[in-house]
Structure 1
């Protein structure tokens, strides 16, 4: 703020405040399947290996 500018705070009614939120304003909550795969060690190992293979292929292609 510059100089002597003032800010006016406006209190909204509860209904107005709740209606101002939209569907995209909230964080997505993981479902049961997602939670399972995030904690399932064999799946994490497979993903780790797959990502490393993809990186190695990319590196090998760049060193032609």
Structure 2
């Protein structure tokens, strides 16, 4: 049986991956990951604003 584990290679470049998704679906890749990232960011902002979480330290202060 052939090994099905994908090995990293030149196609791991983000631009090449996006082009591959466009070829496979005939359109840009789905926005699920972008929506998920936005939802996570908004939840973090809400927690900081409400005082339930501390803001991350600025890189300038490190």
TM-score interval, smaller chain: 0.3 to 0.5
Structure number with higher relative contact order (C-alpha < 8 Å, ≥ 6 residues apart) = 2
TM-score by length of 2: 0.35
Q: Which structure is larger by alpha-carbon Rg, 1 or 2? A: 1
TM-score, normalised by the number of residues in structure 1: 0.35
